[in-house]
Chain A
Amino acid sequence: MLLEPMRPELRPWLVILALVATTCGPTGAGSRHPTFPDGGLLAGAAPVPAASFGAFRGTWTVGPGADAFGDVVAAGSTASTTGGAGGAGGAGGAGGAGGTGGAGGTGTASTAGTVSLFAARNEAYVVLRAGCLAGGTELVLEGYWRYAASSDTGLVRLFVGPPDAARALCEGSAPATALSLDGAYGEGADLPDAPLALAYRSPPKEEPGRTFHVVAHRGGCRTSDDCGASENSLEVLRLAESLGADAVEVDVRLTADGVPILYHDDDFSSRLVVGEYCRGPVEAFTFAHVRALCRLRFGEEIPTLEAAMRTMVEETTLRGLWLDVKRAAAVAPAAELARKYMDLAAAAGRHASIVTGLGERDVFDAYVGAGLVGSARCLTELEPEDVHAADCRIFAPRWTRGPMPETVQALQAEGRIVAFWTLDEMDFIDAFLREAVPNALLTNRPGLVFHRFAMLGTLPPPAPEP
């Protein structure tokens, strides 16, 4: 034994070592959303037709539960048809009497759809999945609620009423009467027991050719916001629509061997990745090293840009992808991939705008220098003159420059789009919606922007899709 020859005075070291050992350890992962035991009622439910999800879109008045979610929430929906084309998410729903019940879906049965509720109070959002019960006479929504600015979360279960409306939605037809939702929400993993009831209030603001885009930052949400997936992951891209976005921004970097990947920071660090060997400048790592050594904070692979585009086009109904290109060397490969996947989306009958973001002067110069002007779609954060110089369809100024209503109107009159970044505070969101009437806002709080636009936003002038 190593300690046998030691003097008696040395024995306390063993005790001290034990004390020290109990105080050291790695940091843990973030919280996750609760789920119903054994899958809840949805485990035995029949799928809801994709076309029915649009009926939930619009605003809803909250009765019981308003203390947690506010008096009015805005609702969005997605409905990806498994193996099919298109979803109902972007189409105008109308849950009110005589509404169309949504459009744009194929009618193929789907359980992949979501109904999301967005509130200003507590920046709350609710993500629900739907299922038909009792032979299609009842429609239940189950999922979780979350306060975006905290880790508070819990379960939600709502039943769609009245019964004839629920039956109609389960059959894939438009309900003849206004929808209502009755149920409860709970705290943490506890089963819901606090009453929650909502009544349909108004349809969404949508007109042909006039669209306001909620653009989610870093693929859907930041890792620090813990929305259920790491930022810039394929998983968060799949979540983004249920969080309120219809477009997302992702960060593009190149590995040492020239593979475009999604990652925000200059360096791999424990802020965004796990893996004891995954440290240091991103550009120092080959793609093989990235694959072998690195995982995102919640365990996902760091995606290639190509995988992200494929996921966006094939697995979501997102309408836009903003590539925030972090290095000049990544501009040409990013623009090339954007062209390829926009063509693939168009061939599949799916609209997907993928724009190359030119946020820094060297990136802008690389874009122009590579002869991409006119052959790719771009967005610049620099100056309005640069929008014209590079023939970009989108001008994306930082919010600190103010709403700039005259600049916004001038660019919109040219058929261009203006998107401000990055707005997360309600007062500022409201001010920009009112004063600038932009085409899009980039945000870490897509649900809040969704809600604020539904409440007080004005549709921007008609513009071609970017």
Chain B
Amino acid sequence: MSPPATTPALAAVIALSLPALARAEGPSRSALELRALAGYGGMVAPSVSHEHELYASNGGAMLSATLLYRSTLPLSPFVELGYAELYASRERVDTAELGALDAESSLATVSFVGGPALDLGLFRVRGGIGLYRLLVESTVLGVTLHTAENDLGWFASVGGDVYRTERFRLGLELRALLVSEAGTACLGVGLTAAGDPLVW
């Protein structure tokens, strides 16, 4: 029987993680953890019409605040409130009825997600599901539109601490957002700061 197929990339992840896993110490106490992230993210293949773009900026600030309950169990539930600037552009569209229209637009999202987190040595892997509110602002012919759409979406992240004390940690996190109802995907990276305001 041949061994199960493993991609070289996955093998690399496992190999590089083993030393960290070996050094890892499991949590010994329960705690409420607060973690803040500030970073940068952008959309994967935005469905805007690039042919009309005069200017475009994919991505922007990504911020979040996470509340996580950590215990001696391997999985830790969390909830997270997030904000991400997704896309901004200026487009010129030729229309039959109104001639050439310039549209200055931006898209952002506010999210509220929840799910489990798994600590693997220095790393933390999180997955979640929640509500994404996509916020649109667009100005055309001097009229500014503010509108929004609520969608179901998914969240996944891999993070880890690069500096750690007993009650405070600094780290990095990579995250992916998938607003499945809207077909919108986003990747981001950010710095995290975490503390344990309550330990027992």
A contact residues vs B (CB 8 Å cutoff): 6-13, 15-21, 23-27, 267-270, 274-277, 279-281, 284-289, 291-293, 295, 304
Contact = CB atoms under 8 A, between A and B. Distances in A.
Contact of A289 (B138, B182, B184): B138
A6 B162 contact: yes
B148 A20 contact: no
Contacts of B93: 291-292
Given A270-B181, A285-B145, A292 B172 contact: no
Contact of B101 (A20, A276, A292): A292
Contacts of A288: 98, 101, 140-141, 143
A292 B103 contact: yes
Contacts of A292: 91, 93, 95, 101-103, 138, 140
A25 B45 contact: yes
A133 to B, nearest CB: 38
Interface of B: 9-10, 12-13, 16-17, 19-20, 43-49, 86-87, 91, 93, 95, 97-98, 101-103, 105, 107, 122, 134, 136, 138, 140-141, 143, 145-149, 156, 158, 160, 162, 172, 174, 176, 178, 181-187, 189
B181 A9 contact: no
12 contacts: A11-B16, A12-B13, A18-B9, A20-B176, A26-B47, A27-B183, A267-B149, A277-B136, A279-B182, A280-B148, A288-B140, A289-B140
Contact of A280 (B149, B176, B187): B149
Contacts of B122: 9
Contacts of B87: 276
Contacts of B17: 12
A286 B141 contact: yes
Contacts of B44: 21, 24-26
A19 to B, nearest CB: 6
A279 B172 contact: no
A212 to B, nearest CB: 37
Contacts of B160: 9-10, 13
Contacts, number: 138
Q: Which of B10, B105, B147, B181 gathers the greatest number of chain A CB atoms within 10 Å? A: B147
A287 B101 CA distance: 11
Nearest to B11: A15
A24 B176 contact: yes
A15 B44 CA distance: 17
Contact of A13 (B138, B146, B147, B158): B158
B147 A285 contact: yes
B115 to A, nearest CB: 16
B128 to A, nearest CB: 14
Q: List 3 A-B pairs, minimum CB-CB distance, nearest first.
A: A280-B147, A24-B185, A279-B149
Contacts of A7: 162
A27 to B, nearest CB: 4
A360 to B, nearest CB: 24
Contact of B45 (A26, A269, A275, A281): A26
A19 B95 contact: no
A284 B145 CA distance: 7
A277 B149 contact: no
A266 to B, nearest CB: 11
Given A18-B9, A292-B91, A292-B140, A277 B183 contact: no
Contacts of A6: 162, 172
B183 A293 contact: no
- The residue in A13, A268, A274, A277 that gathers the most chain B C-beta atoms within 10 A of its C-beta is A277
Contacts of B183: 26-27, 270
Given A280-B149, A286-B145, A13 B19 contact: no
A280 B186 CA distance: 20
A289 B16 contact: no
Nearest to B137: A277
Contacts of B103: 277, 289, 292-293
A276 B160 CA distance: 32
B145 A269 contact: no
B98 A291 contact: yes
B16 A9 contact: yes
Given A10-B172, A293-B138, A21 B16 contact: no
A44 B80 CA distance: 64
B145 A276 contact: no
A178 to B, nearest CB: 48
A169 B54 CA distance: 54
A291 to B, nearest CB: 4
A277 B174 contact: no
A268 B138 CA distance: 15
A24 B149 contact: no
Given A26-B185, A289-B103, 13 more contacts: A12-B17, A13-B172, A15-B16, A20-B176, A21-B44, A23-B176, A277-B103, A284-B146, A286-B143, A289-B138, A291-B98, A292-B102, A292-B138
